[in-house]
Structure 1
């Protein structure tokens, strides 16, 4: 008797069947939403899907993307940073002022901004760890304090003019292989953070801290050091975002361009699949959410819709993302019987 063996599932068909599981339901939903947004606005405006406008979307989303990527890291380990937009504003002002004071040396401005960003990040981490202040409260205070600091340093006005310098022009308007330099910087940061989270012990420890900090502590993980390092990382990357803001606008911006970035970063991380209680999330989903927010914002602008509706949309998306997380986790809704 001949024994029949089931056909071996190989080749492209196997890859196609496994693709949804590998990509994840969250990311597939984001891809579908992004495709829908692009399709709708592409129909409404012939130039929306043009290469020039897509580059505009990418450039505009870069600064948000940088902050969203590091927001992903801090949310994974159970924290939050509401002050990232204000940190970028301080770095923007410092980069322009240091550039001017040093006799038009771009590297001086860049180094000063990153140094200040690191100090701010370390301060946030120290307040949270050693002051035992809730991360949300600590960084909410930082949101106000750093915004005030940026305004004090700049007297509330844009500072300097940096577009006479080749380095700033290259950062803000240069291109490599057809893509804006700003986008390449986001790609490099995102890839580095992805590799850190997925393939290193440091990344695994961050997930462990966010998933169960008591178990992580009993396993010998020094949670305090990790938290301070994470907030220092946020400060440094927020400084890079501030430098790019300066390069893009041509001057140091204390508030304009950085206000509201914290909401966009948190919304992108939540939409991308980060559990706000920690222990879950990834860079890929966050970047898809950044692209979705950028495409939506640009589409509303192109259609001449009042920009205030963009804030309404962002707030609604954040609530939707958290509500979906609650349902998927099976947690009882607050205030309702089980």
Structure 2
């Protein structure tokens, strides 16, 4: 039975939406804000959104690598809280006060190493002990933030340290430093995925792990590696949040970031069953997630509704993924 011209046109339009849904969604959000959100295109609004997008994008890129291997990481928010709690403790200590430059350097390096170790823990649980990723990372999801609150006695840590705060408030060519940092990380990860053996194994494992094992691929090492990268990026995002606020709140830093990161990765084109690692797509997804939240809040919609909207975005993205298989 032949298809009519209207059916062909409709099918073609649906294919375009499925293939470029993220771009279509972004354009729709921008047009809505242009029409209904006051001051949306002011520089101050741009800076605020870039600052928020950068942290989501950085974590989402790490999450994209994990998802590309067929895994998931629920611990990123807790790792953010842990890294963010450690930093002020270090440069506000006696050593940090006596040696301010070394104190700031250590306050960046040590939390990142701890975050890397958290990723190593997740990777070993998944790759060596064969624990399901959602269970393995749930351990740190529960305990990581608790450790952070124990370290800070549950108190808000405030500070004034221009050197450390540059991570969150510095600007290069008039744009927030963390935005440039997110782009640099994206370029590096894109090259890793597209130009290195490690990147090819990441995609191979997600595409067919059994085949990757039979071909002699270092499946366990690659899985551990992506969880370590994800952990390190979550730790970096935690430091940026603390630097933006000049305060560390272990109860709030990274709260629900696992939701934002997974949503951004999926909206950006990552397949939940693995096999794809669209790094720049993760940035696009982060932009969409942040703009949805900003748009709702700027138009008087409560934050709780924003959570429902994010869940709806994930649902639509999963539907689009399933439709692509048909």
What is the TM-score normalised by the length of structure 1?
0.87
Q: Deviations over 1:78-129 (max 9, x none)?
A: 1110110111110000111112122242111101111111111111111112
Higher helix proportion: 2
Deviation at 1:160, TM superposition (A): 4.2
Aligned pair 1:177/2:176, yes or no? Answer: no
Structure 1 residue corresponding to 2:81, chosen from 85, 89, 93? 89
Structure 2 residue corresponding to 1:131, chosen from 129, 132, 143? 129
Distance 2:251 2:193 in 1: 32
**What are the equivalent positions in structure 2 for 1:1-338 lying under 5 Å apart?**
28-101=20-93, 102-103=96-97, 104=100, 105-161=103-159, 164-330=160-326
Evaluate the alpha carbon distance shift between residue 34 and residue 27 of structure 1 in structure 2; reply closer, same or farther with a 3 A threshold. farther
8 Å contact 2:79–2:118 — kept in the other structure? yes
3-state SS of paired residue (2:20): helix
Distance 1:68 1:194 in 2: 13
Q: Deviations over 1:149-205 (max 9, x none)?
A: 1111112222241xx323223211111011100111111111111111112121111
Distance 1:50 1:83 in 2: 35
3-state SS of paired residue (1:185): helix
Distance 2:58 2:34 in 1: 26
Range that drifts further, 98-107 or 296-305: 98-107
Distance 2:18 2:167 in 1: 33
Distance 2:210 2:17 in 1: 30
Please report the RMSD computed on the Cα atoms of aligned residues, expressed in angstroms: 1.6
1:21 corresponds in structure 2 to none
Structure 1 residue runs without a partner (length 5+): 1-23, 331-338
8 Å contact 2:204–2:275 — kept in the other structure? yes
Aligned length: 306
8 Å contact 2:119–2:230 — kept in the other structure? yes
What is the TM-score normalised by the length of structure 2?
0.90
Structure 2 residue runs without a partner (length 5+): 1-15
